[in-house]
């Protein structure tokens, strides 16, 4: 098949890890007879420096004509003033809104060979395989807000329509069907009106999925259960802000933030794929970043935007095989001197890619 992929390497370690994921995709294309073309565009701090805005119109235009977008990470100390008029994360939020990427998938899997790096006991994290489905284009992130310079008050609004909840809930229930058949819907229905609408709507959608088991979990309790017994969860469905918080909390179970990929999808096949970690400016340019999260994001791109399930699974298997060989990047190496570089780890992934 032919596919056009736009890469947005961004800032910090972004360019290093995106380059490795592109190498993996290029090898997949060669192995399986596909033609992938790559086009790089600016987003984030590097775009602010070059054009004054974090999501330039040329970047949006490039993404519009692409089948999928692979993003590195944005941000860094030089753009981190939260009161600045132009900030790197604005580009990310605009990209999500522009393409209506309402469904954010964040799989969290634990690898037995990395159990020693997780902050919980090995028996608690054994078999953890959670899929977060986070609503990404509404909720408190995009509700009305009021902020006046040095004013003495400010507010944000958590807003949901029935249709916004319905469509992301359907994504969660559909995903559960291909997994363990369980959805935990996260809300704060005991306090918030928008979350009562959330619960009511999820219940309504659940009627179309009698084969899927649904439980409602209040967000505070959910944060606790995720640490006490993470293996009990299958699909976790959450609104924008709660999903943001809980997915970061749970990511530590995988042993390193450098492990976790994500997909942000709209109703079509278009998606933006990115590691859930940030731009790690402290280690940028040293060639030591863990490329796994970005390589696994490329696997999600193959699966969801290009419908290449076998190729996606082959990439995931190659990452597992590379880990099983004992190679570790610096974030995971018990002895720093034994760590392999970003490129060397990817070489191993390529060796195992069939």
- Catalytic residue (choose from 111, 187, 188, 331): 188
Is 73 an interacting residue with respect to ligand IPM (CB under 6 A)? no
Paired tokens of 134: 């986070």
Sign of CA dihedral 256, 73, 39, 285: negative
Characterize 66-98 residue by residue with b for buried, 16 or more Cβ atoms within 10 angstroms of its Cβ, and e for exposed.
Answer: bbbbbbbbbbbeebeeeeeeebbebbbbebbee
Q: Tell me whether residue 43 or residue 323 sits nearer to ligand IPM (CB atom).
A: 43
Region from 87-95, 151-159, 285-293, 313-321 binding ligand IPM, contact rule CB under 6 A: 87-95
- Count interface residues toward ligand IPM (CB under 6 A): 4
Select from 8, 19, 92, 323 the one that contacts ligand IPM (CB under 6 A).
Answer: 92
What is the full DSSP assignment across 51-73? HSSSS-HHHHHHHHT-SEEEEEE
Q: Is 49 marked active-site?
A: no
Is 244 an interacting residue with respect to ligand IPM (CB under 6 A)? yes
Q: Is 282 marked active-site?
A: no
Q: Tell me whether residue 247 or residue 290 sits nearer to Mg ion (CB atom).
A: 247
Residues of this chain that bind Mg ion (CB under 5 A): 244
H or E element, residue 184:
strand 182-187
What angle separates helix 88-98 from helix 57-64, to the nearest 10 degrees? 40
What residue number has its CB nearest to ligand IPM? 89
Query: CB 60: neighbour CB atoms within 10 A?
Result: 16
Q: Using CB distances below 5 to 8 A depending on partner kind, what does residue 316 bind out of ligand IPM, Mg ion, none?
A: none
- Catalytic residue (choose from 81, 208, 220, 282): 220
Is 100 an interacting residue with respect to ligand IPM (CB under 6 A)? no
The rounded distance, in Å, linking the Cα atoms of 123 and 141 is: 36
Q: Tell me whether residue 11 or residue 244 sits nearer to Mg ion (CB atom).
A: 244
Contact set with ligand IPM (CB under 6 A): 89, 92-93, 244
Residues labelled catalytic? 141, 188, 220, 244, 248
């Amino acid at each position: 098949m032919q596919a056009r992929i736009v890469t947005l390497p961004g800032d910090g370690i972004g360019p290093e890890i995106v380059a490795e994921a592109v190498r993996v995709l290029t090898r997949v294309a060669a192995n399986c007879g596909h033609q992938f073309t790559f086009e790089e565009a600016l987003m984030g701090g590097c775009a602010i420096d070059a054009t004054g805005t974090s999501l330039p119109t040329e970047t949006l235009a490039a993404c519009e004509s692409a089948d999928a977008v692979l993003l590195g990470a944005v941000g860094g100390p030089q753009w981190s003033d939260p009161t600045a008029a132009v900030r790197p994360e604005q580009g990310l939020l605009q990209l999500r809104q522009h393409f209506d990427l309402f469904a954010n998938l964040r799989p969290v899997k634990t690898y037995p060979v990395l159990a020693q790096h997780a902050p919980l006991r090995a028996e608690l994290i054994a078999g953890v395989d959670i899929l977060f489905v986070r609503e990404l284009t509404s909720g408190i992130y995009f509700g009305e807000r009021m902020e006046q310079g040095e004013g003495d008050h400010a507010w944000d609004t958590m807003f949901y329509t029935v249709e916004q909840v319905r469509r992301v809930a359907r994504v969660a229930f559909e995903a559960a069907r291909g997994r363990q058949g369980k959805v935990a819907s996260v809300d704060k229905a005991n306090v918030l009106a928008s979350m009562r609408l959330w619960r009511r709507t999820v219940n309504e959608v659940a009627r179309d999925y009698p084969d899927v088991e649904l439980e409602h979990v209040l967000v505070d309790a959910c944060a606790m259960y995720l640490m006490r017994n993470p293996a009990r969860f299958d699909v976790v469905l959450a609104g924008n802000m709660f999903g943001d918080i809980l997915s970061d909390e749970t990511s530590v179970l995988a042993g390193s933030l450098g492990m976790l990929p994500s997909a942000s999808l709209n109703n079509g096949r278009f998606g933006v794929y990115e590691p859930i970690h940030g731009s790690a400016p402290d280690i940028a340019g040293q060639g030591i970043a863990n490329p796994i999260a970005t390589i696994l994001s490329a696997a999600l791109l193959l699966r969801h935007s290009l419908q290449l399930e076998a190729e996606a699974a082959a990439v995931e298997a190659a990452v597992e095989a590379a880990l099983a060989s004992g190679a570790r990047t610096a974030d995971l190496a018990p002895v720093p001197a034994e760590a392999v570089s970003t490129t060397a780890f990817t070489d191993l992934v390529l060796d195992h890619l069939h």
